[in-house]
Amino acid sequence: MKNIIAAGLFGLAMSVSGLAFAEPIKIGMITTLSGGGAGLGIDARDGFMLAIEKASNPEIEVVVEDDAQKPEIAVQLADKMIQSDKVDILTGIIWSNLAMAVVPSAVAQGKFYISVNAAPSQLAGAGCDPHYFSVSYQNDNLHEAAGAYATKAGYEKTFILAPNYPAGKDSLAGFKRFYKGEVVNELYTQLGQTDYAAEIAQIRASGADSVFFFLPGGMGIAFMKQYAQSGVDTPLIGPAFSFDQNILQAVGDAALGVKNTANWSKDIDNAANKEFVEAYKAKYGRLPSVYSAYGYDTANLILSAAGEASVSDADAFQKALEAADFDSVRGKFSFGPNHHPIQDIYVREVVKEGDILTNKIVDTALEDHQDAYAKDCKM
Protein backbone atom coordinates (compact mmCIF):
# COMPACT_ATOMS: atom_id res chain seq x y z
CA MET A 1 0.00 0.00 0.00
CA LYS A 2 2.85 2.31 0.92
CA ASN A 3 4.32 1.74 -2.50
CA ILE A 4 1.12 2.66 -4.23
CA ILE A 5 0.86 5.88 -2.25
CA ALA A 6 4.50 6.62 -2.91
CA ALA A 7 4.06 5.88 -6.59
CA GLY A 8 0.96 8.05 -6.62
CA LEU A 9 2.72 10.98 -5.00
CA PHE A 10 5.63 10.56 -7.32
CA GLY A 11 3.29 10.46 -10.26
CA LEU A 12 1.62 13.63 -9.08
CA ALA A 13 4.97 15.35 -8.77
CA MET A 14 5.99 14.19 -12.20
CA SER A 15 2.76 15.28 -13.83
CA VAL A 16 3.38 18.75 -12.50
CA SER A 17 6.84 18.74 -13.98
CA GLY A 18 5.42 17.13 -17.12
CA LEU A 19 8.37 14.80 -17.58
CA ALA A 20 6.84 11.36 -17.42
CA PHE A 21 3.36 9.86 -17.47
CA ALA A 22 0.35 11.81 -16.41
CA GLU A 23 -0.45 9.32 -13.67
CA PRO A 24 0.55 5.84 -12.48
CA ILE A 25 -0.69 2.81 -14.35
CA LYS A 26 -1.68 -0.47 -12.83
CA ILE A 27 -1.57 -3.56 -15.07
CA GLY A 28 -3.20 -6.87 -14.17
CA MET A 29 -1.63 -9.91 -15.79
CA ILE A 30 -3.66 -13.12 -15.74
CA THR A 31 -1.67 -15.95 -17.23
CA THR A 32 -1.02 -19.68 -16.97
CA LEU A 33 1.79 -20.41 -14.51
CA SER A 34 0.81 -23.90 -13.33
CA GLY A 35 -0.48 -27.08 -14.97
CA GLY A 36 0.45 -28.58 -18.32
CA GLY A 37 0.36 -25.30 -20.26
CA ALA A 38 2.49 -23.31 -17.81
CA GLY A 39 5.50 -22.98 -20.12
CA LEU A 40 3.63 -20.58 -22.40
CA GLY A 41 2.44 -18.31 -19.60
CA ILE A 42 5.84 -18.22 -17.96
CA ASP A 43 7.46 -17.15 -21.24
CA ALA A 44 4.84 -14.46 -21.85
CA ARG A 45 5.26 -13.13 -18.31
CA ASP A 46 9.05 -13.17 -18.49
CA GLY A 47 9.04 -11.29 -21.81
CA PHE A 48 6.54 -8.77 -20.45
CA MET A 49 8.42 -8.17 -17.20
CA LEU A 50 11.72 -7.81 -19.06
CA ALA A 51 10.36 -4.79 -20.93
CA ILE A 52 8.76 -3.35 -17.77
CA GLU A 53 12.00 -3.69 -15.81
CA LYS A 54 14.03 -2.17 -18.62
CA ALA A 55 11.75 0.86 -18.59
CA SER A 56 12.32 1.03 -14.79
CA ASN A 57 9.49 3.46 -14.25
CA PRO A 58 8.24 3.52 -10.65
CA GLU A 59 4.79 4.60 -11.80
CA ILE A 60 4.06 1.28 -13.44
CA GLU A 61 2.80 -1.50 -11.25
CA VAL A 62 2.13 -5.03 -12.49
CA VAL A 63 0.05 -7.60 -10.60
CA VAL A 64 0.63 -11.16 -11.86
CA GLU A 65 -1.73 -14.04 -11.07
CA ASP A 66 -1.97 -17.68 -12.18
CA ASP A 67 -5.16 -18.85 -13.93
CA ALA A 68 -4.08 -22.55 -13.98
CA GLN A 69 -5.54 -22.69 -17.52
CA LYS A 70 -9.07 -22.70 -16.03
CA PRO A 71 -11.71 -20.25 -17.30
CA GLU A 72 -13.49 -19.98 -13.93
CA ILE A 73 -10.28 -19.01 -12.15
CA ALA A 74 -9.46 -16.47 -14.86
CA VAL A 75 -12.89 -14.86 -14.41
CA GLN A 76 -12.45 -14.66 -10.62
CA LEU A 77 -9.01 -13.13 -11.01
CA ALA A 78 -10.30 -10.57 -13.50
CA ASP A 79 -13.09 -9.57 -11.09
CA LYS A 80 -10.64 -9.26 -8.22
CA MET A 81 -8.17 -7.22 -10.27
CA ILE A 82 -10.84 -4.85 -11.55
CA GLN A 83 -12.75 -4.41 -8.29
CA SER A 84 -10.18 -4.54 -5.53
CA ASP A 85 -6.80 -4.01 -7.21
CA LYS A 86 -8.32 -1.29 -9.43
CA VAL A 87 -6.17 -2.11 -12.44
CA ASP A 88 -6.36 0.03 -15.57
CA ILE A 89 -5.26 -2.59 -18.08
CA LEU A 90 -5.63 -6.38 -18.21
CA THR A 91 -3.36 -8.67 -20.20
CA GLY A 92 -1.65 -12.06 -20.19
CA ILE A 93 -4.22 -14.69 -21.19
CA ILE A 94 -2.82 -17.51 -23.31
CA TRP A 95 -5.88 -19.61 -24.16
CA SER A 96 -8.80 -18.55 -26.35
CA ASN A 97 -11.49 -20.12 -24.16
CA LEU A 98 -10.18 -18.16 -21.17
CA ALA A 99 -10.01 -14.98 -23.23
CA MET A 100 -13.66 -15.44 -24.26
CA ALA A 101 -14.59 -15.78 -20.57
CA VAL A 102 -12.72 -12.66 -19.44
CA VAL A 103 -12.37 -10.10 -22.25
CA PRO A 104 -16.00 -9.19 -23.08
CA SER A 105 -16.87 -8.37 -19.47
CA ALA A 106 -13.58 -6.59 -18.77
CA VAL A 107 -13.98 -4.23 -21.72
CA ALA A 108 -17.65 -3.72 -20.85
CA GLN A 109 -16.43 -2.37 -17.49
CA GLY A 110 -14.29 0.16 -19.31
CA LYS A 111 -10.93 -1.59 -18.84
CA PHE A 112 -8.40 -2.06 -21.61
CA TYR A 113 -7.54 -5.65 -22.52
CA ILE A 114 -4.31 -6.09 -24.49
CA SER A 115 -3.71 -9.68 -25.54
CA VAL A 116 -0.28 -11.30 -25.42
CA ASN A 117 -1.48 -14.39 -27.23
CA ALA A 118 -5.11 -15.55 -27.43
CA ALA A 119 -7.00 -13.86 -30.27
CA PRO A 120 -10.20 -15.77 -31.09
CA SER A 121 -12.10 -14.88 -34.26
CA GLN A 122 -15.16 -13.86 -32.21
CA LEU A 123 -13.26 -10.83 -30.89
CA ALA A 124 -11.75 -9.89 -34.25
CA GLY A 125 -14.93 -9.58 -36.30
CA ALA A 126 -18.41 -8.51 -35.21
CA GLY A 127 -17.46 -8.85 -31.53
CA CYS A 128 -14.57 -6.37 -31.67
CA ASP A 129 -14.28 -3.63 -29.06
CA PRO A 130 -12.45 -0.30 -28.95
CA HIS A 131 -10.76 -1.32 -25.69
CA TYR A 132 -9.57 -4.72 -26.92
CA PHE A 133 -6.23 -5.06 -28.69
CA SER A 134 -4.32 -8.16 -29.80
CA VAL A 135 -0.57 -7.67 -30.03
CA SER A 136 0.20 -11.26 -31.03
CA TYR A 137 -1.94 -12.01 -34.11
CA GLN A 138 -5.44 -13.16 -34.98
CA ASN A 139 -5.67 -16.92 -34.26
CA ASP A 140 -5.98 -17.87 -37.96
CA ASN A 141 -2.93 -15.91 -39.17
CA LEU A 142 -0.22 -18.54 -38.84
CA HIS A 143 -2.43 -21.26 -40.35
CA GLU A 144 -3.26 -19.03 -43.31
CA ALA A 145 0.45 -18.48 -43.81
CA ALA A 146 1.00 -22.26 -43.72
CA GLY A 147 -1.61 -22.64 -46.48
CA ALA A 148 0.07 -19.92 -48.53
CA TYR A 149 3.46 -21.59 -48.03
CA ALA A 150 2.15 -25.04 -49.05
CA THR A 151 0.77 -23.54 -52.26
CA LYS A 152 4.01 -21.68 -52.96
CA ALA A 153 6.10 -24.79 -52.29
CA GLY A 154 4.13 -26.62 -54.98
CA TYR A 155 2.40 -29.19 -52.79
CA GLU A 156 -0.70 -30.61 -54.47
CA LYS A 157 -2.12 -33.16 -52.05
CA THR A 158 -2.11 -32.23 -48.39
CA PHE A 159 -3.28 -34.25 -45.40
CA ILE A 160 -4.52 -31.90 -42.65
CA LEU A 161 -5.25 -32.55 -38.98
CA ALA A 162 -6.05 -30.60 -35.81
CA PRO A 163 -7.72 -31.21 -32.43
CA ASN A 164 -11.51 -31.25 -32.31
CA TYR A 165 -12.17 -27.87 -30.60
CA PRO A 166 -12.86 -24.32 -31.84
CA ALA A 167 -9.24 -23.26 -32.39
CA GLY A 168 -8.58 -26.57 -34.19
CA LYS A 169 -11.48 -26.00 -36.58
CA ASP A 170 -10.37 -22.40 -37.14
CA SER A 171 -6.89 -23.62 -37.96
CA LEU A 172 -8.01 -26.01 -40.70
CA ALA A 173 -10.36 -23.36 -42.11
CA GLY A 174 -7.47 -20.86 -42.05
CA PHE A 175 -5.17 -23.27 -43.85
CA LYS A 176 -7.74 -24.03 -46.55
CA ARG A 177 -8.40 -20.30 -47.07
CA PHE A 178 -4.92 -19.92 -48.60
CA TYR A 179 -4.23 -23.42 -49.95
CA LYS A 180 -4.85 -24.03 -53.65
CA GLY A 181 -4.08 -27.76 -53.82
CA GLU A 182 -6.25 -30.73 -52.91
CA VAL A 183 -6.95 -31.70 -49.30
CA VAL A 184 -6.71 -35.50 -49.47
CA ASN A 185 -7.94 -36.08 -45.93
CA GLU A 186 -9.08 -33.94 -43.05
CA LEU A 187 -8.92 -35.34 -39.52
CA TYR A 188 -9.89 -34.12 -36.09
CA THR A 189 -8.05 -35.63 -33.15
CA GLN A 190 -9.10 -35.52 -29.52
CA LEU A 191 -7.95 -32.52 -27.52
CA GLY A 192 -5.07 -33.67 -25.33
CA GLN A 193 -4.56 -36.85 -27.36
CA THR A 194 -1.13 -38.36 -26.82
CA ASP A 195 -1.02 -41.25 -29.27
CA TYR A 196 -1.13 -40.58 -32.99
CA ALA A 197 -0.37 -44.04 -34.37
CA ALA A 198 -3.86 -44.28 -35.91
CA GLU A 199 -3.52 -40.90 -37.66
CA ILE A 200 0.01 -41.62 -38.88
CA ALA A 201 -1.14 -44.92 -40.39
CA GLN A 202 -3.74 -43.01 -42.39
CA ILE A 203 -1.17 -40.44 -43.52
CA ARG A 204 0.97 -43.33 -44.77
CA ALA A 205 -1.93 -44.81 -46.69
CA SER A 206 -3.25 -41.52 -48.10
CA GLY A 207 -0.58 -40.85 -50.73
CA ALA A 208 -0.34 -37.19 -49.66
CA ASP A 209 2.72 -35.15 -50.62
CA SER A 210 2.59 -32.97 -47.49
CA VAL A 211 1.02 -32.86 -44.03
CA PHE A 212 -0.32 -29.79 -42.25
CA PHE A 213 -0.91 -30.17 -38.54
CA PHE A 214 -1.92 -27.88 -35.70
CA LEU A 215 -1.24 -29.66 -32.41
CA PRO A 216 -0.16 -27.21 -29.72
CA GLY A 217 1.95 -28.13 -26.69
CA GLY A 218 2.48 -31.73 -25.64
CA MET A 219 0.21 -33.00 -28.44
CA GLY A 220 2.68 -31.70 -31.02
CA ILE A 221 5.66 -33.28 -29.25
CA ALA A 222 3.95 -36.67 -29.18
CA PHE A 223 2.93 -36.40 -32.83
CA MET A 224 6.37 -35.37 -34.06
CA LYS A 225 8.23 -38.08 -32.18
CA GLN A 226 5.85 -40.80 -33.31
CA TYR A 227 5.91 -39.48 -36.86
CA ALA A 228 9.70 -39.66 -36.95
CA GLN A 229 9.64 -43.22 -35.57
CA SER A 230 7.01 -44.43 -38.02
CA GLY A 231 9.22 -44.30 -41.07
CA VAL A 232 6.76 -42.03 -42.95
CA ASP A 233 8.72 -39.24 -44.64
CA THR A 234 6.03 -36.97 -46.10
CA PRO A 235 7.11 -33.35 -45.34
CA LEU A 236 5.43 -31.65 -42.38
CA ILE A 237 4.16 -28.06 -42.17
CA GLY A 238 2.72 -26.44 -39.07
CA PRO A 239 2.24 -23.18 -37.24
CA ALA A 240 5.02 -22.15 -34.82
CA PHE A 241 3.17 -23.44 -31.75
CA SER A 242 4.56 -26.97 -32.08
CA PHE A 243 8.05 -25.72 -32.87
CA ASP A 244 8.53 -23.24 -30.16
CA GLN A 245 11.88 -22.85 -28.46
CA ASN A 246 10.99 -24.81 -25.34
CA ILE A 247 9.07 -27.55 -27.13
CA LEU A 248 11.81 -28.27 -29.68
CA GLN A 249 14.22 -29.63 -27.07
CA ALA A 250 11.61 -32.20 -25.98
CA VAL A 251 10.92 -33.27 -29.58
CA GLY A 252 14.60 -33.74 -30.31
CA ASP A 253 16.08 -34.35 -33.75
CA ALA A 254 12.70 -35.55 -35.03
CA ALA A 255 11.88 -31.88 -35.67
CA LEU A 256 14.94 -31.10 -37.80
CA GLY A 257 14.08 -29.64 -41.19
CA VAL A 258 10.38 -29.15 -40.50
CA LYS A 259 8.89 -25.92 -41.88
CA ASN A 260 6.74 -23.79 -39.62
CA THR A 261 5.09 -20.40 -39.89
CA ALA A 262 5.58 -17.60 -37.36
CA ASN A 263 5.39 -13.83 -37.07
CA TRP A 264 8.51 -13.75 -34.89
CA SER A 265 11.85 -15.50 -34.91
CA LYS A 266 15.00 -14.80 -32.98
CA ASP A 267 16.90 -14.10 -36.21
CA ILE A 268 14.66 -11.27 -37.44
CA ASP A 269 17.24 -8.64 -38.24
CA ASN A 270 16.52 -5.43 -36.34
CA ALA A 271 18.05 -3.65 -33.38
CA ALA A 272 15.06 -4.08 -31.06
CA ASN A 273 15.02 -7.83 -31.62
CA LYS A 274 18.77 -8.26 -31.11
CA GLU A 275 18.58 -6.28 -27.89
CA PHE A 276 15.56 -8.33 -26.74
CA VAL A 277 17.16 -11.73 -27.44
CA GLU A 278 20.41 -10.76 -25.69
CA ALA A 279 18.68 -9.24 -22.66
CA TYR A 280 16.33 -12.23 -22.34
CA LYS A 281 19.17 -14.74 -22.53
CA ALA A 282 21.19 -12.76 -19.99
CA LYS A 283 18.31 -12.45 -17.52
CA TYR A 284 16.66 -15.87 -17.76
CA GLY A 285 19.43 -18.10 -19.09
CA ARG A 286 17.37 -19.49 -21.97
CA LEU A 287 16.36 -18.47 -25.47
CA PRO A 288 13.09 -16.53 -25.82
CA SER A 289 10.07 -18.12 -27.48
CA VAL A 290 7.35 -16.50 -29.60
CA TYR A 291 5.34 -16.06 -26.37
CA SER A 292 8.25 -14.19 -24.78
CA ALA A 293 8.36 -11.94 -27.84
CA TYR A 294 4.61 -11.23 -27.70
CA GLY A 295 4.88 -10.43 -23.99
CA TYR A 296 7.78 -8.06 -24.61
CA ASP A 297 5.98 -6.28 -27.46
CA THR A 298 2.80 -5.98 -25.39
CA ALA A 299 4.64 -4.29 -22.53
CA ASN A 300 6.43 -1.93 -24.92
CA LEU A 301 3.14 -1.02 -26.60
CA ILE A 302 1.61 -0.14 -23.22
CA LEU A 303 4.70 1.86 -22.27
CA SER A 304 4.60 3.77 -25.54
CA ALA A 305 0.93 4.64 -25.09
CA ALA A 306 1.44 5.61 -21.46
CA GLY A 307 4.10 8.07 -22.55
CA GLU A 308 1.58 9.78 -24.83
CA ALA A 309 -1.67 9.83 -22.90
CA SER A 310 -3.19 9.30 -19.51
CA VAL A 311 -4.94 5.98 -19.07
CA SER A 312 -7.82 7.76 -17.32
CA ASP A 313 -8.55 9.55 -20.59
CA ALA A 314 -9.75 6.39 -22.34
CA ASP A 315 -10.17 7.93 -25.80
CA ALA A 316 -6.72 9.48 -25.86
CA PHE A 317 -5.15 6.31 -24.49
CA GLN A 318 -6.92 4.23 -27.13
CA LYS A 319 -5.60 6.55 -29.85
CA ALA A 320 -2.10 6.21 -28.42
CA LEU A 321 -2.38 2.40 -28.47
CA GLU A 322 -3.72 2.45 -32.04
CA ALA A 323 -0.67 4.43 -33.13
CA ALA A 324 1.50 1.47 -32.00
CA ASP A 325 4.48 3.80 -31.76
CA PHE A 326 7.02 1.37 -30.36
CA ASP A 327 9.96 -0.64 -31.69
CA SER A 328 8.49 -4.08 -32.23
CA VAL A 329 10.87 -7.01 -32.14
CA ARG A 330 9.00 -8.17 -35.24
CA GLY A 331 10.09 -5.10 -37.22
CA LYS A 332 7.01 -4.04 -39.17
CA PHE A 333 3.98 -3.73 -36.91
CA SER A 334 0.76 -1.75 -37.10
CA PHE A 335 -2.84 -2.25 -36.06
CA GLY A 336 -5.69 -2.86 -38.48
CA PRO A 337 -9.16 -1.33 -37.96
CA ASN A 338 -10.13 -4.19 -35.59
CA HIS A 339 -7.07 -3.66 -33.36
CA HIS A 340 -5.33 -6.79 -34.65
CA PRO A 341 -1.84 -6.60 -36.14
CA ILE A 342 -0.90 -6.11 -39.76
CA GLN A 343 2.46 -7.83 -40.06
CA ASP A 344 4.72 -10.14 -42.06
CA ILE A 345 4.49 -13.88 -41.42
CA TYR A 346 7.59 -15.95 -42.06
CA VAL A 347 8.43 -19.54 -42.85
CA ARG A 348 11.00 -20.95 -40.44
CA GLU A 349 12.98 -24.14 -40.63
CA VAL A 350 14.06 -26.13 -37.58
CA VAL A 351 17.85 -26.21 -37.44
CA LYS A 352 20.54 -27.15 -34.96
CA GLU A 353 22.87 -24.48 -33.56
CA GLY A 354 25.47 -26.36 -31.58
CA ASP A 355 23.48 -28.59 -29.27
CA ILE A 356 20.34 -26.48 -29.32
CA LEU A 357 17.45 -26.92 -31.71
CA THR A 358 16.07 -23.64 -32.92
CA ASN A 359 14.40 -21.94 -35.90
CA LYS A 360 15.79 -20.02 -38.84
CA ILE A 361 13.77 -17.88 -41.23
CA VAL A 362 13.90 -19.26 -44.77
CA ASP A 363 11.06 -17.40 -46.51
CA THR A 364 8.23 -14.91 -46.07
CA ALA A 365 4.82 -16.54 -46.44
CA LEU A 366 2.60 -13.46 -46.28
CA GLU A 367 3.54 -9.78 -46.31
CA ASP A 368 1.62 -7.08 -44.43
CA HIS A 369 -0.98 -9.66 -43.65
CA GLN A 370 -4.30 -8.79 -42.05
CA ASP A 371 -6.93 -11.22 -40.76
CA ALA A 372 -10.11 -12.25 -42.55
CA TYR A 373 -12.45 -10.79 -39.91
CA ALA A 374 -11.40 -7.13 -39.94
CA LYS A 375 -14.12 -6.24 -42.47
CA ASP A 376 -16.85 -7.37 -40.04
CA CYS A 377 -15.63 -5.13 -37.23
CA LYS A 378 -17.60 -1.94 -36.67
CA MET A 379 -16.36 0.43 -34.01
Partner 1 sequence: MQTALLIEQTLNGLQFGVMLFLMAAGLTLIFGVMGLINLAHGSLYMVGAFACATVAAWTGSFWLGLVASLAAAAAAGAIVEITVIRRLYDRDHLDQVLATFALILVFSEGTRWLFGSFPLYLNIPPLLAGAVPIPGGAQYPLYRLAIIGVGILVAIGLYLLISRTRLGMRIRAGESDREMIGALGVDIRTLYTVVFALGAALAGLAGAMVGALQSVQVGMGEPVLILAFVVIVIGGIGSIKGALVGAILVGLIDTLGRFLLPAALAAFMGPSAAASIGAALASMLIYVFMALVLAIRPRGLFAAAG
Residues that bind partner 1 (CB under 8 A): 34-36, 38-39, 42, 164, 169, 172, 183, 185-190, 192, 194-195, 197-199, 201-202, 204-205, 217-218, 221-222, 225-226, 229-231, 246-247, 249-252
CB of 202 to partner 1, least distance (A): 7
Q: How far is the CB of 273 from partner 1 (least distance, A)?
A: 22
Min CB(332)–partner 1 separation in Å: 30
Residues whose CB is less than 8 angstroms from the CB of residue 287 and which lie 6 or more positions away in sequence, other chains included: 245, 266, 277, 280, 281, 356, 358
Nearer CB in complex with partner 1: 71/166? 166
Toward partner 1, which CB reaches closer, 93 or 365? 93
What torsion do the CA atoms of 262, 67, 357, 54 make, to the nearest 10 degrees?
A: 80
Backbone φ and ψ of 353, nearest 5°? -115, 105
- Nearer to partner 1 by Cβ, of 204 and 332: the residue is 204
∠ CA 200-166-181, rounded to 5°: 55
Rank residues 227 and 335 by Cβ distance to partner 1 and give the closer one. Answer: 227
Listed in sequence order, the residues at least 6 apart from 319 whose beta carbon sits closer than 8 Å to its beta carbon are: 309
The nearest distance, CB 253 to partner 1, in angstroms, is 8
Length of the chain: 379
Q: Residue 262: what are its φ and ψ, rounded to 5°?
A: -155, 155
- Long-range contacts of the stretch 14-19 (C-beta < 8 A, 24+): 14/59
Q: How far apart are CA 16 and CA 9, in angstroms?
A: 11
Q: Which is nearer to partner 1, 245 or 343 (CB)?
A: 245
The residue among 15 and 185 lying less far from partner 1, judged by its C-beta, is 185
Amino acid at 58: P
CB 2 within 8 A of CB 46: no
Nearer to partner 1, 68 or 361 (CB): 68
